[in-house]
Structure 1
Amino acid sequence: MRQRSANAGGRHTIGILSPVVGGFYFGALIAGASRAARDAGHRVVAVQTYPSGLDRERYPDEPLLEVPVALDAVDGIIVVVKAVRHDRLAAAQEWGRPVVLISEEQTELQAPVVVPDNAGGVRAAVRHLLDHGHTRIGFAGSPSQRDIRERYEAYRSTLAEQGIEARPEWFHETADNHEQAGEDAAARFLAAGAPTTATIAATDRNAIGFLRALRSSGLVLPRDHAVIGFDHIESGARLMPRLSTVDPHYDRVGSLAVELLLARLRGASVADGVHRAAATLVLRESCGCPGSTATVGDSPVASGRPAAVTLLERLADTGFGAPSVGTAHRTGDDEDRANWLRAIVDPLTAAAERGTAPTARSLGLLADLTAARRPHPETLEQLIAAVRDLERELAATRPAAVSHAGTELLLALTKGCTRPMLARSGYLERTIADQYELDMDLLRGNGPSPRTLTWLPRSGRGAACLGLWVGHSPGDREIEIVGVDDNSGALSRLIGLRSPASQFPPAALTRGATPGSSRLTLVLPVTFGGSDWGLLAIDGNVDTRATSGRDKYNHWAALLAVALDHERLLASLRDQRQALEEAAERERALAGTIRASEERYALASLAAQDGTWDWDVSAGTVYYSPRWKQILGYADQAIGTSPSEWLDRVHPDDHQDLSASIAAQLGGARTPLEIEHRVRTASGDYRWMLCRAVTILDDAGCPARLVGALFDMTERKEQELSLRENALRDPETGLVNRPLFLDRLGAAIKRTRRRARDYDCALVLLRVVDRSGDDAGVRREVVRRLRLALRDGDSAARLRQDEFAVLLDDIGATGDPVRELLATILSDPETDLAVGVLPTIQRYKDADDALRAADIALLRSQTRSR
């Protein structure tokens, strides 16, 4: 693919390929990247590569979407960990776009890889636990991902720097990054006797499960065990004790990825390899600290400045959700940061120097600036401590004025911190209400088609576009736009447009975004279970606060797939009903014209118990009567007009004879066709049919039609075969009768004469001596044991009422067949049998001579047994 050049206006569209597009991790990465791109005047298209509606966040082995989805719509690509199969990622140069990776494994692709400072964050956490006096520190996590492995290695190396070797029993491997895996790790930790006094968890969700399990076991935290997590999710602030954690600032990771990608798009030199975004240690009670504070590493304190001011500066950098991003955004962010700091420090300084109180305007501005920076849950506590410290440092001259100013500032800061929480609460309430209405619209099934996108929420929605797959092969299928939704109506012209998947979403959607808007274009697979309908593109905001990656757009896409499945099912049922009604109408229309002749024909065919057929030789079609189809067990519509409907069902052993007979008829045979053959019925069984037919010639004397009838003769044929079989076998036992046995014995004697050196047979005669009273039961038991003992080629016969003979063929081949036979026959102690054995038949002249010798051997055996 050819490298795409920058567009004339300087605006780029950045594509982000991510497993999912919401949640504290993926959502924060995308949100940070989106803000950095937006502030630089560019657009973002985020594509979810894993199916919507995943089962409990257990991602499949590989993504659903295959690149090049959205490739033609973007100028550069950011690939988030595991979003693309590694074999496709290695060939990313073929995409013709600059690529930046986030937390991805090292591949053959030469590209920058952006990761959070996993090592730095864990080092700070381990050192902090060491400062608390812990020397036995464990680690819990799943090392299946690059970030987790870096955290684990940093944990081991930091302990090693202090002369502590991490023991194998200190490591608790988890199945995944979620809470249940953390609980399972805690159970193993307790079962091992709690070998450590503190634990570093690779993720906050692991840490939350670990903490809950320890508390349930009766441990008092952090007195009995200290825990520090990694991710800084909001759930950690709601625990008791609250979770200390490392904030990796995933939004900054996304921002840094955009910076590097834009630099490459400008043609600047960007080094391949790892680029790290700084992490921050956030301290709460779970590590053993008495209160909530935050540290940012070893940043120096400026000489002569109050320590509280330095703490406020650190809070400005780490206690809020706003990221520090690319150059254009960083300038504006630094200005906002400076204004926020001045709004706190200047009023306190003025109160200390002049005794003036903060104005209502300055307090309102402080509340607005604080709310705009989206503070974390623990930020207010940290601000109270910092402002009180600053009060004490400035209260030497006018303590009352400084205290009053500090109280007013804290009230403004409280308003600023609570406003985002209240706004989020209102947002969640609106989201729940919108979701209810959306669910009802999609699942009701009696409104407009879900393809029209009229089910989208009425408020707060952006432009949307639905494309469904055309074709079945992922390699070459196209996508067709079937629904759009926007306020201007400009996208309506896209309805019906087909394009390769690489051109979705359409440029009219992505370029319609307003520069500087907080929205980005999200692309989600419309999937659920085994259904894969297409792609939903929608302009929206990413939710970064959810612990789970299941954002509302993911839910919409999954529910849309369910609604489309339902619509298809209803359409199929309607089509079937309409087809049935049309068929019934056709039947009624035809019935009036052909009823009389059809009834006469049907009655005649039924009386003859045969099925007629008419083969049009020139057209190559065959008319099969309803009775013909009924004989084979098929409904009238189940059989077409092809000759193969008959010939393909003929038994393979009979197919050649039937084909030859038909060919003879078409070749000018004078006698009518009459042949017996087997035909497979609808149940899969074969039935015997008698086929009779005559050839009808056209005016030129050539065969034009072959007209005949099929008669089911299965019962008669089975009787015939049964009579033939009974003529050669004993009807009671099923063994061969005396004449057939003597014939086989005579033939065996002749073979021994021809092959005296390598071939011989044995003859065994059996006679029931002592009956138990149930003659038939004894004979059945003897016959059953005979059948168990016979080999391929052996023959057994019933010679008289209670006398049996066995011909053991080719006794020199393997083993001792005579001994094996007798062992099986004589294994029943309740049946008394006399046995006569001829170990060879070579010296006897014929079958009668051998049978007499066997009878003599049997009599001698009886005499000896007495």
Structure 2
Amino acid sequence: MSTTRRGSAASSARRTIGVLAPVVGGFYFGALIAGASRAARDAGHRVVAVQTYPAGLDRERYPDEPLLEVPVALGAVDGIIVIVKAVRHDRLASVQAWGRPVVMVSEDETSLPAPVVVPDNAGGVRAAVLHLLDHGHTRIGFVGNPSQRDIRERYEAYRSTLADHGIVPAAAWFHETVDNHEQAGADAATRFLGKGIPTTATIAATDRNAIGFLRALRTAGLVLPRDQAVIGFDHTDSGARLLPRLSTVDPHNDRLGRLAVELLLARLRGREVTDGVHRAPSTLVIRESCGCGAISGDTPGRSPTPAGSRLQRLADTGFGAPSLGTDTHRRTEGDARGRWVHAVLDPMIAATEHGALPSGAALSRLADLTYDRRPHPETLEQLIAAVRELERELIDTVPAGSDRAAALQRTGTEILLALTKGCTRPMLARSGYLERTIADQYEVDMDLLRGKGPSPRALTWLPRDGRGAACLGLWVGHSPGDRQVEIVGVDDSSGALSRLIGLRTPASQFPPAALTRGGTPGSSQLTLVLPVTSGGSDWGLLAIDGNVDTRMTSGRDKYNHWAALLAVALDQERLMASLRDQRRALEEAAGRERALADTIRASEERYALASMAAQDGTWDWDVSAGTVYYSPRWKQTLGYEEHEIGSSPSEWLDRVHPDDRLDLSASIAAQLGGARTPLELEHRVRTSSGDYRWMMCRAVTVLDDAGCPARLVGALVDMTERKEQELALRRNALRDPETGLVTRMLFLDRLGAALKRTRRAREYDCAVVLLRVAEAPGDEAAEADVRREVVRRLRLALREGDSAARLRQDEFGVLLDDVRADPARVEELLASAMSEPEMGIAVGVLPSIQRFKNADDALRGADIALLRAQTHS
């Protein structure tokens, strides 16, 4: 790895860090961005997080490439953090050209010479495999998609850990998934069951894979973890809600974001930062799915951990990132962990040594510290076990029945109550947050989809409470370089951003500085930039100050939803405007149509008279009455008398050839539906003799005063003779009329197709055989007899896939298909076609066509073989 030094940027006026991420919410991307935001704000920087994939992804299956190809928001940042797959790999090299220091997260270090932050994938998986080995498992499988760097490292660590213990995983133990989501895990479980349950335990590369895997196994009737122990990787809340609850590895995604910012800031301050991998530690979280009876901080089969040390470890692993209150901004995260541990231990020790009880203020502070640490769902159970164990350790040091023993027991209970309050408050807060989010989302949906009131561009649909400033920019122009956006809507409580309306700016300068300067260092907000996309629509960019939701399993955060729904509303607005324009145009056209109505009727009468003079079979279909008038000439054309044809449409439609009936019905329906062009269709109609004759039908639609189709008026013309001549000409273009064999043109086409197949499959080959009938001077009848006999024998010798053609008057070509499968094909053909030498047939054989570039070259090679055969004969 190389070491690079960046110039100092301490005097930078921007003090902004750009983060490029596929999406900007969810337990992975959201937690990374949240951790980066906290670290940046602690250092006095602001974060602009740009979502590079479309909003409203179809079932979260990311497309092959990011949507955004322009350097959005990169013109106004000090440095850039690129999260895995946010930028196309072939474009990563151009990131350096943007002139900003770069740190990547979970990308291959070969993609760009820059620091790469990754979780300790190997350490986390190794701990998980060792834990399963301690349970006695020796057949341990793996489920995941190793196309991504993190998953690949987890898979390699799984294999190497097993190898260290003398275990070689069988191929049936590995189940590759198409992505990291639940359905892919369920699909892997189906294959796993189909192989007869080859393992007793499984490591899943992601929690979402593990969840789908576990659910599918339970549906199939397996008892978990008895029949299959499972450990995931990600530490998602959804894993804690399973039965059994999912043991997992916590990669501490927020710490990854923090580490990325620390490395970036170090470069900005001129310190040396090595390119290559920088790892953040991972932690094994034990629940029931691995086979442990309850949530525990200890690993079975290992030495027990002292309760005090367990509390210290819980301070590191049982909580998320601390909240952004002023207290945690003033102190480092390590100090916060230490204060929490002391807030638990000190009252217990004071009760043990002096019989002192904790004060209400101390207990309230412990509850607040626990709440600020954002405990995970299982943390309370771990804390109860640790505090009770600490209580048992300490009570052995005081006389039984003494005041200190009673004080210690009461202190333990009070501490547990305080910890319970601290752990349940985040749950209640999240419940309230989700309730507010649902209510806000309902209002947003109704405002955007009802299509009334102000334009969605005005951003008045944003929730009234709990939102930051917002700015909407729509694309203008289609230049291939740095595209421009026009700011069409802003929303902020001060009204200071209203002056931006109408401003056009390059995408690299969006969001405008007036928006990103709105936040102050230490606030809980960051600026999110999302594509306003839906289906095939790409309207522009929405920038909004807010907080990412790091607890959602998926990327379906509210901002992503708003951006997708905004695109739908803009689509609807454009459609309604188009409909209004069309309505005005139709109203104007209606007046012109009514003025022309009399002229049209007169034209219809003249057309009918002209048709009678031309002996066409005219007809008049009354749409509202459902009856058709067939002229006498129409009936005569089909060989019927006047009284033999009624007035029903079926008199015509039921006589149409079955192969043409659907086309005729569709054409009539199109006319009645408002087609602008007259109906004109060739089709076959059954005559009174039972034969079918080709007819040309031409018709126009007559509208009533309301502009609705009232009649179809047309004529039926017999064109059988012309159609048969046309079909005969078409057949003769591809078939020799004398022999029925294909022509030279079609033979070359088939030979060319065979050459293309030889390039796709090297084991495939064809042979070309040319046969030339010797001339019999003055005896054309004899030559014709020989040609007919050759054709007859060729037909008998050909197999499916072969092709025979008449190339010239006296020359025939045969393409023998797949001769490698049956090398004796050529000899069999020659034996059949030339069993009588006196027939005077010369033969040229091209045994292989693989070396030729095209069909003409191959046929020329066969000609040369034929000439050589004639020369040596």
Calculate the TM-score normalised by the size of structure 1. Answer: 0.68
Matched, 1:813 2:810: yes
- Describe the SS at the equivalent of 1:391: helix
Q: For residues 192 and 531 of structure 2, what CA distance do their matches in structure 1 show? A: 40
2:518 corresponds in structure 1 to 512
Rate the CA distance shift 1:163–1:426 in 2: closer, same or farther, 3 A. Answer: same
The one of 556, 564, 576 equivalent to 1:550 is 556
Shift of 1:190: 2.1
Unaligned runs of 5+ in 1: 610-680, 688-714, 730-754, 765-788, 790-808, 817-866
Q: What's the counterpart of residue 263 of structure 1?
A: 266
Deviation at 1:486, TM superposition (A): 0.3
Residues in 2 aligned to 1:604 and 1:442: alpha-carbon distance in whole angstroms: 51
* Match among 170, 173, 177 for residue 167 of structure 1: 170
**Alignment counterpart, residue 439 of structure 1, candidates 433, 436, 445:** 445
TM alignment of 1:364-375, pairs within 5 A: 364-375=364-375
Question: Deviation of residue 604 (structure 1)?
Answer: 12
1:307 Cα offset (Å):
2.1
Equivalent pair of 2:76/2:508 in contact (CA under 8 Å): yes
Give, in angstroms, the shift of residue 569 of structure 1. 0.5
| Alignment correspondent of 1:633 | none
1:22–1:551 CA contact under 8 A, matched in 2: yes
Structure 1 residue 299: Cα displacement: 14
Query: Does the C-alpha gap of structure 1 residues 266 and 476 become closer, same or farther in structure 2, counting only changes over 3 Å?
Result: closer
Separation in 2, partners of 1:683, 1:388: 89
1:204 matched to 2:210: no
Question: What is the alpha-carbon distance in structure 2 between the residues aligned to residue 760 and residue 266 of structure 1?
Answer: 99
The one-letter code matched in structure 2 to 1:264 is: R
Which residue of the partner structure matches residue 410 of structure 1? 416
1:312 aligns with 311
Counterpart for residue 89 of structure 1: 92
CA shift, 1:175, in A, is: 1.9
How many angstroms apart in 2 are the aligned matches of 1:489 and 1:135?
66
How far apart are the structure 2 equivalents of 1:219 and 1:183? 14
Partners of 1:481 and 1:811 lie apart in 2 by 72
Is 1:288 equivalent to 2:291 in the alignment? yes
Shift in Å, 1:599: 10
Give the aligned partner of residue 279 of structure 2.
276
Distance change >3 Å, CA 269–CA 298, structure 1 → 2? farther
2:572 maps to 1:575? no
Find the aligned partners of 2:348 and 2:809 in 1 and give their Cα distance: 115
Summarize the alignment of residues 731-770 of structure 1 with structure 2, pairs less than 5 Å apart: none
- 1:527-542 matches, within 5 Å, as 527-542=533-548
**Structure 1 CA distance, aligned partners of 2:779 and 2:103?**
81
Please state how far the C-alpha of 1:758 moved relative to its aligned partner.
11
Q: Give the secondary structure class of the aligned counterpart of 2:53.
A: coil
Report if aligned partners of 1:251, 1:323 keep a CA contact under 8 Å in 2.
no
Pairwise CA distance, 1:358: 1.1
CA contact (8 A) 2:140 2:203 kept: yes
Q: Residue 460 of structure 1: which of 462, 466, 485 is its match?
A: 466
Residue 134 of structure 2 is aligned with which of 114, 131, 134?
Answer: 131
Matching of residue 193 in structure 1 with residue 196 in structure 2:
yes
Partner residue, 1:216: 219
| Displacement of 1:294 | 2.9
* AA at the equivalent of 1:224: D
Q: CA deviation at 1:684?
A: 8.9
State the partner residue of 1:770.
Answer: none
2:782 and 2:498 map into 1 onto residues whose CA distance is 93
Aligned to 1:851: none
Select which of 115, 124, 129 maps to 1:121. 124
Matched residues, number: 636
SS of the residue 1:189 aligns to: helix
Post-superposition offset of 1:330: 9.9
Distance in 1 (alpha carbons) for counterparts of 2:293 and 2:263: 41
Question: Alpha-carbon deviation of 1:289?
Answer: 1.6
Indicate conservation of the 8 Å contact 1:201/1:227, yes or no: yes
Between the aligned partners of 1:498 and 1:522, the Cα distance in structure 2 is 20
How far off is 1:216 after superposition? 2.5
Larger Rg: 1
Counterpart of 2:212 in structure 1: which amino acid?
Answer: G
| 1:313 maps to amino acid | Q
Deviation at 1:283, TM superposition (A): 0.5
Q: Secondary structure at the match of 2:293?
A: coil
Residue in 1 aligned with 2:80? 77
Structure 2 residue ranges without an equivalent (≥5): 1-5, 399-403, 609-676, 683-695, 697-714, 726-774, 785-791, 793-805, 814-873
Aligned residue among 483, 492, 508 for 1:486: 492
Deviations 1:374-431 (A, max 9, x none): 0001111111111112212222322110000110110010000000000000000010
2:256 paired residue number: 253
How far 1:105 sits from its partner (Å)? 2.3
AA of the residue aligned to 1:409: I
User: Would the aligned equivalents of 1:759 and 1:811 in 2 still touch at CA under 8 Å?
Assistant: no
8 Å CA contact 1:281–1:295 kept in 2: the answer is no
1:280–1:295 Cα contact (<8 Å) kept: no
State how far apart, in whole Å, the 2-side matches of 1:246 and 1:330 are: 30
Secondary structure of the 1:91 match is helix
The CA distance in 2 between the partners of 1:516 and 1:425, in whole Å, is: 25
Distance in 2 between residues matched to 1:65 and 1:377, nearest whole Å = 37
Superposition CA RMSD, Å: 3.9
> Separation in 2 of the partners of 1:601 and 1:220?
80
CA contact (8 A) 2:776 2:783 kept: no
Q: For the Cα contact (< 8 Å) 1:79–1:102, is it kept in 2?
A: yes
Indicate conservation of the 8 Å contact 1:280/1:296, yes or no: no
Distance 2:218 2:432 in 1: 33
**What residue identity is the alignment partner of 2:319?**
F
Which residue pairs with 2:382 in the alignment?
Answer: 382
1:37 Cα deviation after fit: 0.6
The answer on whether the counterparts of 1:296 and 1:314 sit within 8 Å (CA) in structure 2 is no
Contact 2:154 2:205 in 1 (8 A): yes
Q: 1:71 to 1:217 in 2, by over 3 A?
A: same
The answer on whether the counterparts of 1:32 and 1:323 sit within 8 Å (CA) in structure 2 is no
Alignment-derived partner of residue 342 in structure 2:
342
Distance 1:27 1:474, change over 3 A: farther
Aligned mates of 2:149, 2:357 — CA distance in 1: 53
CA distance in 2, matches of 1:96, 1:361: 53
* Pair 1:324–1:297, CA change in 2 (3 A): farther
Q: Which residue of 2 aligns with 1:826?
A: none
Partner of 1:524: 530
Q: Which amino acid aligns with 1:45?
A: V
Pair 522,78 (structure 1): closer, same or farther in 2 beyond 3 Å: same
1:158 maps to 2:161: yes
CA contact (8 A) 2:53 2:531 kept: yes
Alignment of 1:840-859 (within 5 A): none
Alpha-carbon distance between aligned partners in 2 of 1:8 and 1:759, rounded to the nearest angstrom = 105
CA drift at 1:815: 5.7
Q: Report the Cα distance in structure 1 between the residues aligned to 2:528 and 2:808, rounded to whole angstroms.
A: 81
CA distance in 2, matches of 1:191, 1:490: 64
8 A Cα contact 1:90 1:107, kept in partner:
no
Moved more, 163-172 or 288-297: 288-297
